[in-house]
Chains A and B, each alone.
Chain A
Amino acid sequence: MSADKPRSPIESGCPDGFQYMHPVMRKNYGAWKFHEHPKPGVLRHVGFSGDEIWTVRVGTQRILDIFSLRELCDIGDEFADGFIHFTIRSNVEYMVADPAKVEPLIKAITDKGYIVGGTKNSVTMLSHTQGWLHCDIPGTDASGVVKSMMDELIDEFRECNMPNRVHITTSCCQINCGGQGDIAINVQHTKPPKINHDLVSNVCERPSVVARCPVAAIRPAMVNGKPSLEVDEKKCICCGACFPPCPPMQINDAEHSKLAVWVGGNHSNARSKPTFQKLVAAGIPNNPPRWPEATAIVKNILQAYKNDAKDWERINDWIERIGWPRFFEVTNLPFTKYHIDNWRGARNSLNASTHIRF
């Protein structure tokens, strides 16, 4: 190929996964009978054919350097059957058809410093956004928060001591790429953006920025003789939605970008319909490199859930049963005016009954 002639892409799209699937999984595709959970981190699936596949689930640092990726492949080649599956929470899964391979595989994994667990009623890997490492609008880091929390929650990952599974998510801005979680640790800005008026007209498409504001708090203005934007700070909800389309509207602040904790997001239809997470704690310092205040609140909530919830109750099911007043009581978190919703649909969240626990 000539070096100066650009190559046209092959628009192949999403590759067929069957070619990379463990042969036992390919053979039994759509014909699995049941699964068991012999121990934390290990699943045994049995097909109608009688075939078995054993899965060992592994937590990693997620941001993988090439050495670690090759190490994980080496383990796969030597101790598993050369196949790797990733869960949607970025855990690695090795699959083996022969149960005798399970223990040597676990040993190889743990010898290399990776963590076996994350199955069933454990605290599985935090879902993880990009943060300071790579995002253009982050209020905090993601990898560092996850690393710090997983250091503290590692036993809950390795064991299955929770009433049901716990999905924890992080998000580095209020767009919340991390998604819904049983517990979510999300950035919450508390001050309006600081505007660099010298740059706005060069960098920002002003009508788009005005349109982006959820509460119509931004309007075009001439500032120091230059076309710029101004923010009605009484209306501003400090969400940061103007920052991605207009970087001179700096929302991130070393002191005033805080963390908030939300609970009860659940994507499953099991028992109740899927639920969104609800605010429980805010004003938590964004405190690198270890974020101890946020971790302490998460551990506190997990402890209360573990003590009080019944088997199979997810955090939302548990709170539905005990009620929000008791949640704030058992977690010792303050209930404030900020917990009462005033966004669209807010009335649906108010108690229009005499259903009150005493």
Chain B
Amino acid sequence: MAKKIYETPMLDELENGPWPSFISGIKKLRDDHPDERIQAVTSSLLGQLEHSYETRKGYWKGGTVSVFGYGGGIIPRFSEVGAAFPESKEFHTIRVQPPAGNHYTTDMLRQLGDSWEKYGSGLQTFHGQTGNIMFIGTTTENTQHFFDEINGYGWDLGGAGPCVRTAMSCVGASRCEMSCANEHGIHRHLVNNFTDDVHRPALPYKFKFKVSGCPNDCQNAIERADMAIIGTWRDDMKVDQVEFKNYLDAKGENGRQYYIDNMTSRCPTNALTINDDDTLTVDNRNCVRCMHCLNVMPKALHPGDDHGVTVLVGGKRTLKIGDLMGTVVIPFKRMETEEDYESLVELAEEMIDFWAENGLEHERTGEMIERIGLVNYLEGIGLEVDPNMVSSPRQSSYIRMDGWDEEAEKWFDRKAEAANA
């Protein structure tokens, strides 16, 4: 079977330059892959992509494709210009959940690659912006075959559509001294409690879990997750005064000035003092765990030992009311015992249930909170108010407050309860 080769003068330009070229990779599949099916599919794909480059338009449309027993997990793509590029007219992406933390053995990568070579285009990405392994390009029929094969050796589909989405977590405790949480465990406890909601889209819109081990939030959880779990600590940060002095000395005679200018003076709460004897004093009561000084001096400064997580809800990107950051709903939660994990999962269930009941179609959790107010949301999921949830108290006096006495009493009761605990 002679495959059709399309002229691709614009795409050819993307083979120039020093950065590795995805076009060269696709061409290699077209020209050198032993399987004629892959040659033909990738050739056709290049033809359509060139057509997009020439006309500055996309030509894929969605549809409904899934695997037996599931409702989601596949991104169906049918070509609108399939008559001109018939070999890639069905070109679905299969979203597969990666292991927590994105760790792989080469053996496992090869096994996945071999399966995809059998049924798909031979193109894959680690990972898409939602966190899935993206196996890009196969037919409706082969979608099922590929899934059956990889599902048989331990891989499951991710979320697509209005459902709980694939979760993400940073590299965390597996290789980072800043980690204050078992990101891996939190990630899997949460998302694997909701496999039904991952595979069968029936929620108002998407719901994402993201876990970062420290407030550096390398996982972009606050900005991008409906439920963000961020590791933190409550006790004093650790200071190794010898290493601290080594940092100063390593900068020569200007070391002191350098770290005053670039470390202590950038502390958002002025909680750091470099003393006359080149030791560091930390006002831990006023440290907000921003991580700046720890990032500057990882060898000298270290998080404390009383680890836990901060939980924020409602982060999302633009559609529809504009970008929203997550909002603190739990300032600190210990994550040590099995009960701690269970209660976190229960909280997630409350959040998803309340939103499933009250969210409008295509409304993310953050937008619903914007619409109904944080207080109504907290009542809905059974959490008490806390001053850590706000940047400042309200500034508008236009509010009815005839329940003040009861609310103030609740606050004092909670404080008394906490003191007795």
Contacts and interface: CB of A to CB of B under 8 A. Distances in A.
Q: Is chain A's binding surface mostly helix, strand, loop or mixed?
A: loop
B216 A270 contact: yes
Interface of B: 10-11, 13-14, 16-26, 28-29, 32-33, 45, 49, 52-53, 55-62, 67-70, 75, 77, 91, 93, 97-110, 113, 116-117, 122-129, 131, 136-137, 144, 147-148, 151-152, 154-157, 166-168, 170-171, 173-177, 179, 182, 184, 187-188, 191-192, 195-196, 198-199, 215-224, 261-263, 266, 268, 288-292, 295-296, 298-299, 302, 317-323, 325, 360-362
Interface stretch (A24-32, A219-227, A324-332): A24-32
Interface string A116-139: 000000000001111111111111
A270 B182 CA distance: 21
Nearest to A144: B14
Residue of B124, B219, B318 with most chain A CB atoms under a 10 A cut-off: B318
Contacts of B58: 131-132, 135-139, 252
Contacts of B192: 13-14
B291 A269 contact: yes
Contacts of B362: 208, 211-212
Nearest to B240: A34
A306 interface: no
**9 tightest Cβ-Cβ pairs between the two chains A and B:** A151-B17, A17-B99, A65-B25, A132-B52, A254-B56, A269-B215, A13-B192, A6-B68, A150-B19
Nearest to A153: B19
A11 B193 CA distance: 11
Interface residues of A, number: 120
Interface string A291-328: 00000000000000000001110000100000000000
Interface string A3-17: 000111111111111
Residue of A76, A88, A178, A239 with most chain B CB atoms under a 10 A cut-off: A88
Contacts of A29: 173-174
Contacts of B167: 14
Contacts of A288: 10, 53, 56
Nearest to B148: A7
Interface stretch (A52-60, A99-107, A228-236): A52-60
Interface string A264-282: 0101111110101000000
B19 A268 contact: no
Nearest to B299: A34
Contacts of A310: 261-262
Residue of A130, A176, A312 with most chain B CB atoms under a 10 A cut-off: A130
Contacts of A257: 56
B156 A289 contact: no
Given A25-B174, A29-B173, A175-B319, A8 B302 contact: no
B83 to A, nearest CB: 18
A10 B173 contact: no
Given A179-B220, A257-B56, A11 B199 contact: yes
A148 B268 CA distance: 38
Given A22-B103, A154-B19, 17 more contacts: A9-B156, A16-B100, A20-B99, A35-B177, A61-B21, A63-B123, A82-B107, A131-B58, A132-B53, A180-B224, A241-B319, A254-B55, A267-B221, A269-B289, A288-B56, A289-B11, A289-B14
